[in-house]
Amino acid sequence: MTTFTVNGRSHALALDPRTTLLDALRDHLNLTGTKKGCDHGQCGACTVLVNGVRVNSCLCLAAMHDGDEITTIEGLGSPDRLSALQAAFVEKDGYQCGYCTPGQIMSATALFEELKAGHPSYVSEGLDGATMSDAEIAERMSGNLCRCSAYPLIREAIAMAAEAEE
Residues making contact with other proteins (CB under 8 A) = 16-18, 20, 39-41, 44, 47, 53-56, 59-61, 63-64, 107, 110-111, 114, 117-122, 125-128, 138-140, 142-144
Q: What is the closest distance, in whole angstroms, from the C-beta atom of residue 78 to ligand FAD in the complex?
A: 32
Asked if residue 120 binds ligand FAD (CB under 6 A), the reply is no
CB-based contacts of 56, cutoff 8 Å, min separation 6: 41, 44, 46, 47, 143
Report how many residues bind ligand FAD under the rule CB under 6 A: 2
The residue number whose beta carbon is nearest to ligand FAD equals 41
CB burial class (10 A; 0-12, 13-18, 19+) of residue 63? middle
Q: Which does 116 bind (CB under 5 to 8 A by kind): ligand FES, ligand FAD, other proteins, none?
A: none
Asked if residue 41 binds ligand FAD (CB under 6 A), the reply is yes
Asked if residue 42 binds ligand FAD (CB under 6 A), the reply is yes
Asked if residue 51 binds ligand FAD (CB under 6 A), the reply is no
Q: In what order do the strands lie in the sheet with 9-13?
A: 9-13, 2-6, 69-71, 47-50, 53-56
Q: Which does 114 bind (CB under 5 to 8 A by kind): other proteins, ligand FAD, ligand FES, none?
A: other proteins
Q: Restricting to residues 24-83, name those near ligand FES by CB under 6 A.
A: 36-39, 41-46, 56, 58
Buried b (16+ CB within 10 A) or exposed e, 91-116: ebebbeeebbbbbbbbbbbbbbeebe
Tell me which DSSP letter residue 44 carries: -
Q: What is the closest distance, in whole angstroms, from the C-beta atom of residue 79 to other proteins in the complex?
A: 26
Amino acid at the residue 113: E
Number of neighbouring beta carbons within 10 Å of residue 118: 10
The residues pairing with 9 across neighbouring beta strands, listed in sequence order, are: 6
Chain residues that interact with ligand FAD, rule: CB under 6 A = 41-42
